[in-house]
Structure 1
Amino acid sequence: MESRVHYTITCWRQLCLCSICIYTTFQGSPGISMMLRALLLTSLLSWANGQEGLTMLPEEKSKIRDQIVEMFDHAYGSYMKYAYPADELMPLSCRGRVRGLEPNRGDIDDSLGKFSLTLVDTLDTLVVLNKLDEFEDAVRRTLRDVRLDNDVVVSVFETNIRVLGGLLGAHVMADMLRQRGERMQWYRDELLHMAKELGHRLLPAFNTSSGLPYPRVNLRYGVLNPLSRTGTESDTCTACAGTMILEFAALSRLSGEAVFEEHARKALDVLWEKRQRGSDLVGTVINIHNGDWVRRDSGVGAGIDSYYEYLMKAYILLGDNVYLERFNTHYSAIMKYISQPPLLLNVHMHNPTVSVRSWMDSLLAFFPGLQVLRGDLKPAIETHEMLYQVTKQHKFLPEAFTTEFRVHWGQHPLRPEFAESTYYLYKATGDPYYLRVGQSIVEKLNAHARVPCGFAAVQDVRTGTHEDRMDSFFLAEMFKYLYLLFSEKNQLHFDIDDYIFTTEAHLLPVSLSTSQPPCRGNNTEAPTAVEEDLFTYSCPSTQTLFPNNPSFAKTIRDSYKYLTGVGRAFHASPDRGIELPLHDHGMEPVEFLRSMGISLTPLNEAGATETHGAHEGVYRVKLVAEVTQTPEEEVVPLIVQLISPPYLGRMVLTAGPAKFGMDLIKQEHGVKGSIVKTSPYTACGPIENAQELSGHIALALRGDCMFAAKARRLQEAGAIGVIFIDHREGSNSAETPLFQMVGDGGPTADITIPLVFLFSQEGALLTSALEDHSNVDVLMLPKERQLDKADKPLGKMNIKFRLAEEGELEEGDARGPTLKFVLEKGEVVLEEEEYRQQGDSCLTPGGDVLCSYGQTAASSPSHSPNDPNTDPGSQDSRVPQPPPTDHKPWAPQH
């Protein structure tokens, strides 16, 4: 019997990525085969001794920069070949996306105006990447083909930042090249004229009683025209109204028409006046007619993000202290209420001490870059490192992820915000660690997003499936920031420090601050008198504040190395070996590995990363490896045991604990009670069935608010305990490591009832039982008290190897540092007593696992899984059932 599989083992040790190609050969008895497959996880930790922060040589930077240019050529070339003059490329279909011809995607299509969006959005990127011939050709195409009077309803926000910003950035670049006498001598400000035309087509959106713009406008008919098909909206997001000042002010100062800057400034004035005076925070959605807040949750992500960004950048671009004073006021509130390092959690603007949700969206990834602009490096490094750990765990930043760093929304539309913050941090610190972060972005894009006709968005980071879209911001922003990250100043065609980036990464010259601003009249209120210090009015010298910057940044990052749980700390024993239990309270070996910080990924899904200073070639490894966990706090598994008829204790569900509430470990006999479903099921509003819940254990759904908020409401309703059920379909304790529920960041000593967490599949069994029987009694207690002696771990097995170089890379193997593991029967040393106890009796005739590791056949349940007289719940939940014939129990689960 022979089985072979390729994997990479990712070991989070000193933030070092060790990519190892494992080539396994299983021979011999089914028992040995089963054990070796279960232990296909040998991690050569002593070999993975690369260190973070090693200097990246100029040759390597140049190689990566050339790779970025090639990637841009592939994406831009695919758009021009398959999609132009359409707004966007559909990279899976290899054709253009034309609004009205493709199925409507809702609001996302409001960025498409039949104005060759991707071309216009990419213009100044061509200059940054030194593609001047392509830039001149693209400008000519824009002037020849792009029309702005289309009968299309578009987003005011998206059209402003992408199209108006793209035209202005391209005009600035064209004018710069023309003044140098190198190129564009034929250019006569045609792009600026187009920008002014578009500005006038957007102005009708500001025709509201408050001065806040409508969210949509018809490019031909405006807003209130009967033919416009818009103008009925009543509210807009804060970012939509507050992200106009850079483009509109630049347009005013370049064209001499003050009306644009005046309208954008008025919108900012309204948002400032409507802030919550007690917290100095703003909400997410506001009524455009009366200025009332529609959604009062406040954060730094979607719906608000670029409002804060534009206050800071308006000060840099225009030199007006009012913008800086407003930004500093908001920033102090953000750091006081929203920032929970390294997390940034939304709060209620009127009650900012309580978080309103337990997840974060990916758009907040821009915020570390904004903090760098302000000179606040420490929290920028903290949040960026948290985001980097999330990308390590999921390959990309999911659109939203929980405070436990699990996927909330799985999409990833190739957003550039994380690359943006990486660029700013490298520029501020000079720490080559951020070059390695940028390198990982490049590699993941090539490995997981590249398709024959460009780059495709990821529909779900958990499965790696693609979506048929390549948004224009991918070309406008991603490649710009990545190219600049790996470029020296003397390699650029112009001084990048003479420009400020808009939120779409378009370049506007900071020299605009010397232009005469338009008359402001009474639009801007006098700044609030607040006590300020010099720090808030300057970009402080980080070398003075934080000498030896790389060490300073590394010290901060070290605190968040194992934040996501992917890489918990461990240290090697003196003999450089690995010891793995055959059974760990029901955990399969793959999950046990994950709990130690070792993850298995198929090699064809993970691009190999070349570690600095690593050995080249393929190695045959025959080395004793041993890992021991540090005595860090571990997650103690709990159970929910159904004890009422007909179950009588035979249905046992694995549950996760909470870091607050009653400690079930200290309760000798656990907590017993009847379960009652909460109404509303999420327990995020007033409890409607409090009388029914009193004296019972509440059943509540995860989501919409924090665990602590749910627990308080249910405790006040009289519940004696709470069982939370995961809202994500298909989650289960067999494939997902347990975690501890956390509070809301504030004191939780007032919560005294026991709390446990069930994944979706286990929760479904419990809710089904409640539907089938009028009364279901359960017992909540630690899992170890439900185990009998026969189920205890029997011990460990050692696998011994030695290291010997063996030839070059084989064709098809991943590039970079690679190891080849060869496990052969004669080289595996087992502790004979333990192996005899395990025996072959736990195997089916085909070699599949039937009982738990460390469990003898005699201790397994005596009933047959197929016995119709056996209640399904009577099977021991710790015993894995026979997998399908093609199932490989040693393969990683995705």
Structure 2
Amino acid sequence: MCPDRVAQLRQETVDMFYHGFDNYMHIAFPEDELRPVSCTPLTRDPLNPRNVALNDVLGNYSLTLIDSLSTLAILASAPPDDRNTGPKALADFQAGVAALVEQYGDGRHGRSGQGLRTRGFDVDSKVQVFETVIRGVGGLLSAHLFAVGDLPIAGYDPRRNGNDLEQNPIIWPRGFKYDGQLLRLALDLAQRLLPAFYTQTGMPYPRVNLRHGIPFYLNSPLHENISLHPNGEEGFPEITETCSAGAGSLVLEFTVLSRLTGDPRFEQAAKRAFWAVWSRRSNIGLIGAGVDAEAGHWIGGFSGIGAGIDSFFEYALKTHILLSGHDLPNRTMPNPAPYGSQLDPNSLYTPLTDEDNSADAFLEAWHHAHAAIKRHLYSDVHHPHYINAHISTGSPQAYWIDSLGAYYSGLLALAGELDEAIGTHLLYTALWTRYSALPERWSVRDGHVEGGLGWWPGRPEFIESTYHIYRATKDPWYLYSGEMVLKDVRRRCWTKCGWSGLQDVRTGEKSDRMESFFLGETAKYLYLLFDSDHPLNKLDAPYVFTTEGHPLIIPRKTGQPKARKKAVEKGVLPYYDEKYTNSCPVPPKLPPLSGSATAARPDFYHAASLIRLHHIPNIHAISNQEMSTVALEKSVAYAMKPRSNHTIFPWTLPPTMLPPNGMCAAMRQQHTSVIEFPTNTQHSVGNTFSLMFGGHNLVRMGSEGIAISSLNGLKITLVLEEPPDYIERAWRVSSIGHLALGRDEKVFITRDVLAEMSDPLFHRIRDSVSVDILLQTEIPPPPRETPTNFTASDSKAQGEVQSNVDMAGSSRSSNIFSSFLQQITSVLREPASTFAPEPAQKPEYEYTELAAILPAGLGAAPLPDVREAPNPVTGVNIESLTWGHVYFADQACRAKLPDAAAKAHQVIVMRRGGCSFSEKLSNIPSFAPNRNALQLVIIVSEDKEDESEGNSWGLNFIRPLLDELQKTPAGILRHNPIAMVMVGGGDKTYRALEQAKSLGLRRRYHVESQGLAIGNLVVL
């Protein structure tokens, strides 16, 4: 894009901002908001205090002015022009600061602290903690940093004599002296929010009254000795539900406030709230949207990147950036203590560790959060986008994207995940091109606005990401994206007294409200996009934009406790993992002709296809350089005729930027297969599952997966997975009926259910490499005074046996399988009336499975053809398994074993090591095969870390090799080679085998469809 065109867009952005700001100052100040359609002030709803959509944000403290100050400071660095933009913006910034001080005082406790409206923020308004922090506290802090020169304004040099700002104020025009009034007001506002942090969890309550605190949260530790009305304020119990974003996105503002004032309360409270949310992430690394600030549990099971969660991820990464290069914070109150310091919620908790306070800890949280998102929420089918999934299982729950999620592409660019950022941003660009705005929710699956949520209140997230990706790539594509946004906003949202939002992006209906973030963020990011030479765009320092778009930085000259440096170096190590991005990548090289690497991407049209642009008339055809190409004799009406051609997006992009010989790669389609089982051929097997599932085919085993008791009438959908997700190409069960599964969820099914299956699309295959050895161990009889029915206290023996399973290294002895067995066992044993105890004189047994691997090589022999041991989940209590006579030979390397070892024992157990496997077998004497003679040799191996990789059987050792044919002690080839298996676990497994009453063999199976294994289906 030519420089003159960029300068014109920059000036149009300035005009857009001032059209909203000047009208606000003229009509609304000192009110909070502006109705741009009706041109009247917008205030809180006094008749309905529970109208949180309005009252959560508005606090009757000139919110829009505070939100706009940092934008004015940024516009003050505008390059010289004939409209005097820069000096005007600086004067307006200084006048805005003076107006705030006049209305609310200077933040002191004396006479000067009383403003025309109130003393500080002493107003009777219940506000949302999150919105007040990001808009109010953040806006005041950012404006303060610009005022004192810690954030740059071109041509503005706030010269001071000495470091004491109050003693040496900055002299502004018209006699105003800036001595830190905004910082003191930010401190006053933040102190009024501290009562919300008095919770049992460390996460703040969602709301607080700026004058009265939290009298409506009666369970707070703040009210332990106070008797209040049980219904709280206004006669209604106050909800305690907050969100991950609201609780965890306070660190940037509160950390800067603590570092600037020396008051540690805010930084520690905000960090503790962040870690309280993060510590509640699910076992697959996802966090939910809603969380109860009192009880600490998730409300609802959804996880995503958008509403309710968005800025939590943002603050994880940006806190790392903000703290980079700084020492650990001071965590003791200054002397003398500041006013109001007796209110300190941190006194309720154990102090945060050095690691919790470090920059690297937040980087680690970001890395793991992004990894979980990429694993469970990211979908590259058709075109990259993010779904909403269940927090614990990762199973898809909804297939819509929301406009708030548009921020994530910009965050990825900051994190160095540039390719993912560019790909996902294309989707939002196509969506904006379709609607000339972003609807609140749009269904990827259905191709239309989701649930009627079609409004766009002027949100900045899409232009924010456009700005960050442009800064990372310098690709002119993003300038045209910004131009598209600017033109569409000017065309659709203009009113005579400001800028409205859109109530419905489809119809163009306006909403009677101008949000403060439109001036504080949307206009700001548009301006910075079109001003590459702005001082902020060239600032080489760890500054960040908050989630409300306010630039923040920790000045180097403030509070660096050098005495703590040694503790930092010793206690907190930099986080590093080869799997994560730890450096910024080189941006794509711009092509020489078209000039846009984004437009030249082979998946360029995939986003347009997913948004269905090719089905939508192009209302911008006349705007896209068509008028000049229309012959003069053709009517304007013909030129304005909508064209069914939306392949060029954003719609401001000139065709010359598209590669003339460009080709579009084939869209990635998921290869699926659907198997439907008849309703009359499969039945539940045995009493176990009919009791467990209550006659149903399926049961969800917590977050571990789905158990199937019968294939009767089921419909299973398979998707084809490719490496690196799977070791080799394999199917994955993605849904059973209408029940969707997460990427890592497993499907459990017993081999009994598959016994009679004969279907080329779904048939079981015996594993030729691994088996399970079943141990039968007698349970000691309970003391006479103890009831014979099973209770929770009887689980000790079960836990000990289970530990043998775990230490054996079996993939089926993982937490998933262990939990599955335990849940089934609990069903089998309770209630006692269903499973009556056996007579006291008859012993009871525990059963444990050990994973075993078969050898390879010339000396390998097939397993004996014996009856398969029963399934331990069925609660069987038989007298004995297949083999009851076991000989323990230690390493069996020194000499020939006794003849009775082979003739009178069915199994020989040996320890690994001392000699080769072939030598161990050669020390077994000759014997005549019979059912009471030797049938199996079990080698017990120690688990070794260096042998745990490259193994697809889930066993913690490599497959043994018998590299020569089996021989007798006399060196003669055996006519009947001995079958051998190897188990892990070392001494613990060896002792467990010694304690076993009998042993059995259970062969493993997997299920294949069309020649490929079903990777997440586990046959029990």
* Bin for the TM-score computed over the shorter chain: 0.5 to 0.7
User: Residues 753 and 191 (structure 1 numbering): CA distance in 2 closer, same or farther, change over 3 Å?
Assistant: closer
CA contact (8 A) 2:674 2:715 kept: no
Q: Secondary structure at the match of 2:560?
A: coil
Query: Partner residue of 1:856?
Result: none
Query: Partner residue of 1:368?
Result: 409
Q: Secondary structure at the match of 2:455?
A: coil
User: Residues 163 and 517 (structure 1 numbering): CA distance in 2 closer, same or farther, change over 3 Å?
Assistant: farther
1:407 correspondence with 2:449? yes
**Aligned ranges 1:814-853 → 2 under 5 Å:** none
CA distance in 2, matches of 1:299, 1:266: 23
CA distance in 2, matches of 1:77, 1:253: 34
CA distance in 2, matches of 1:688, 1:81: 69
Give the one of 262, 265, 270 matched to 2:271: 265
CA distance in 1, matches of 2:254, 2:563: 14
1:343 correspondence with 2:385? yes
Amino acid at match of 2:29: Y
Give the one of 124, 138, 141 matched to 2:96: 138
Q: Measure how far apart 1:566 and its partner are.
A: 8.1
Q: Measure how far apart 1:345 and its partner are.
A: 1.1
Give the one of 579, 589, 599 matched to 1:554: 599
CA contact (8 A) 1:171 1:189 kept: yes
CA distance in 2, matches of 1:73, 1:84: 15
CA distance in 2, matches of 1:554, 1:212: 44
Q: Measure how far apart 1:349 and its partner are.
A: 2.2
Query: Partner residue of 1:533?
Result: 578
Query: Partner residue of 2:942?
Result: none
**Aligned ranges 1:418-429 → 2 under 5 Å:** 418-429=462-473
1:200 correspondence with 2:191? yes
Deviations 1:69-101 (A, max 9, x none): 111111112212222221111111110111135
User: Residues 631 and 541 (structure 1 numbering): CA distance in 2 closer, same or farther, change over 3 Å?
Assistant: closer
CA distance in 1, matches of 2:480, 2:583: 29
Q: Secondary structure at the match of 2:548?
A: coil
Q: Secondary structure at the match of 1:537?
A: coil
CA contact (8 A) 1:215 1:235 kept: yes
CA contact (8 A) 1:662 1:752 kept: no
Amino acid at match of 1:245: V
Query: Partner residue of 1:578?
Result: none
1:449 correspondence with 2:395? no
CA distance in 2, matches of 1:754, 1:291: 31
CA distance in 2, matches of 1:232, 1:431: 49
CA distance in 2, matches of 1:283, 1:74: 39
Q: Measure how far apart 1:299 and its partner are.
A: 1.4
Q: Measure how far apart 1:124 and its partner are.
A: 1.0
Q: Measure how far apart 1:211 and its partner are.
A: 1.0
CA distance in 2, matches of 1:546, 1:509: 36
Deviations 1:523-561 (A, max 9, x none): 9x98899761396333344379999996543344x4142
CA distance in 2, matches of 1:335, 1:513: 39
CA distance in 2, matches of 1:544, 1:435: 17
Q: Measure how far apart 1:633 and its partner are.
A: 11
CA distance in 1, matches of 2:314, 2:624: 35
1:326 correspondence with 2:368? no
Q: TM-score, normalised by structure 1?
A: 0.58
User: Residues 117 and 496 (structure 1 numbering): CA distance in 2 closer, same or farther, change over 3 Å?
Assistant: farther
Amino acid at match of 2:70: D
The range that moved more, 513-522 or 502-511, is: 513-522
CA distance in 1, matches of 2:549, 2:303: 25
Give the one of 172, 179, 182 matched to 2:158: 179
Amino acid at match of 2:560: Q
User: Residues 610 and 492 (structure 1 numbering): CA distance in 2 closer, same or farther, change over 3 Å?
Assistant: farther
Query: Partner residue of 2:250?
Result: 244
Give the one of 126, 129, 133 matched to 1:156: 129
Deviations 1:794-838 (A, max 9, x none): xxxxxxxxxxxxxxxxxxxxxxxxxxxxxxxxxxxxxxxxxxxxx
Query: Partner residue of 1:120?
Result: 66
CA distance in 2, matches of 1:169, 1:156: 18
1:563 correspondence with 2:580? no
CA contact (8 A) 1:690 1:718 kept: no
Query: Partner residue of 1:311?
Result: 316
Deviations 1:175-207 (A, max 9, x none): 114625794671110010100101110111100
1:385 correspondence with 2:426? yes
CA contact (8 A) 1:430 1:549 kept: no
1:83 correspondence with 2:62? no
CA contact (8 A) 2:203 2:273 kept: yes
User: Residues 528 and 283 (structure 1 numbering): CA distance in 2 closer, same or farther, change over 3 Å?
Assistant: farther
**Aligned ranges 1:647-686 → 2 under 5 Å:** none
Amino acid at match of 1:86: E
Amino acid at match of 1:406: H
Q: Which protein is bigger by CA-based radius of gyration?
A: 2
Q: Secondary structure at the match of 1:356?
A: strand
Query: Partner residue of 1:57?
Result: 2
Give the one of 392, 396, 400 matched to 1:359: 400
CA distance in 1, matches of 2:626, 2:471: 21
User: Residues 742 and 90 (structure 1 numbering): CA distance in 2 closer, same or farther, change over 3 Å?
Assistant: farther
User: Residues 98 and 282 (structure 1 numbering): CA distance in 2 closer, same or farther, change over 3 Å?
Assistant: same
User: Residues 528 and 335 (structure 1 numbering): CA distance in 2 closer, same or farther, change over 3 Å?
Assistant: farther
1:295 correspondence with 2:334? no
CA distance in 1, matches of 2:53, 2:571: 37
Query: Partner residue of 1:462?
Result: 506
CA contact (8 A) 2:431 2:611 kept: no
User: Residues 335 and 528 (structure 1 numbering): CA distance in 2 closer, same or farther, change over 3 Å?
Assistant: farther
CA distance in 2, matches of 1:748, 1:304: 29
CA distance in 2, matches of 1:494, 1:626: 42
Please provide the CA RMSD for this pair. Answer: 4.7
CA contact (8 A) 1:393 1:564 kept: no
CA distance in 1, matches of 2:103, 2:626: 48
Q: Measure how far apart 1:111 and its partner are.
A: 0.7
Query: Partner residue of 1:229?
Result: 233
CA distance in 2, matches of 1:566, 1:614: 31
CA contact (8 A) 1:156 1:216 kept: yes
Query: Partner residue of 1:589?
Result: none
Q: Measure how far apart 1:145 and its partner are.
A: 1.6
Deviations 1:192-244 (A, max 9, x none): 01001011101111001111101000000111375983984333101111011
User: Residues 507 and 462 (structure 1 numbering): CA distance in 2 closer, same or farther, change over 3 Å?
Assistant: same
CA distance in 2, matches of 1:238, 1:546: 42
Q: Measure how far apart 1:516 and its partner are.
A: 2.5
Query: Partner residue of 2:516?
Result: 472
Q: Secondary structure at the match of 1:163?
A: helix
CA distance in 2, matches of 1:626, 1:95: 41
Amino acid at match of 2:186: A
User: Residues 451 and 321 (structure 1 numbering): CA distance in 2 closer, same or farther, change over 3 Å?
Assistant: same
Q: Secondary structure at the match of 1:360?
A: strand
CA contact (8 A) 2:202 2:273 kept: yes
User: Residues 609 and 717 (structure 1 numbering): CA distance in 2 closer, same or farther, change over 3 Å?
Assistant: farther
Amino acid at match of 1:198: L
Amino acid at match of 1:199: A
User: Residues 750 and 448 (structure 1 numbering): CA distance in 2 closer, same or farther, change over 3 Å?
Assistant: closer
CA distance in 1, matches of 2:398, 2:733: 20
Q: TM-score, normalised by structure 2?
A: 0.51
User: Residues 323 and 662 (structure 1 numbering): CA distance in 2 closer, same or farther, change over 3 Å?
Assistant: closer
CA distance in 2, matches of 1:492, 1:318: 18
User: Residues 364 and 716 (structure 1 numbering): CA distance in 2 closer, same or farther, change over 3 Å?
Assistant: farther
Amino acid at match of 2:301: R
Deviations 1:452-487 (A, max 9, x none): 221111111121111111110110000100001011
Q: Measure how far apart 1:619 and its partner are.
A: 5.6
Query: Partner residue of 1:416?
Result: 460
Q: Measure how far apart 1:59 and its partner are.
A: 0.5
